[in-house]
Structure 1
């Protein structure tokens, strides 16, 4: 098990609604930065900053495909984060509550 301070730092990241929503969406599939820009109505640098924080704590993985960067969940070894995400709604419910649809322009 990870030391208590490391777990606390990772869980702090989930205290931000945007990051928690990102992780909730990532439960079901990987997402491209450009999709998050549309969903959250935020600039690409702002989205990248949130994802950088999650990546630095090992909560998400990053993969580059051409000019696009895709993110996936990396919590198999973090049961305390899995437990939180298990209580979150599915991506369709999250997107509906935000009045959003996924329109990927990444391809």
Structure 2
């Protein structure tokens, strides 16, 4: 049980960090390129959300294979666990996006 919570927590924070970090760096880069940083940060946060989830759960198609193979064998527990990891990663990416929106709204 402890390993499940640790993996879920890491998935959350990896997805959160990908969105927030990528958006912040996009904002910094846009300043150097004389582009509006808030709009660049907002669009980058939205575009990075799905990639943050993919990076957090393993970076490949393997989680989908785990779900498919376990459901085909009739074992629902590993499939449900993997779907839970994806949901936690989505929550982290979404919260990162909302934080970027909050920061950019306060700046404009």
TM-score between the two structures when normalised by the length of structure 2: 0.30
Q: Which has the higher contact order (CA 8 A, sep 6+)?
A: 2
The structure whose residues are more often helix, as a share, is 2
TM-score between the two structures when normalised by the length of structure 1: 0.31
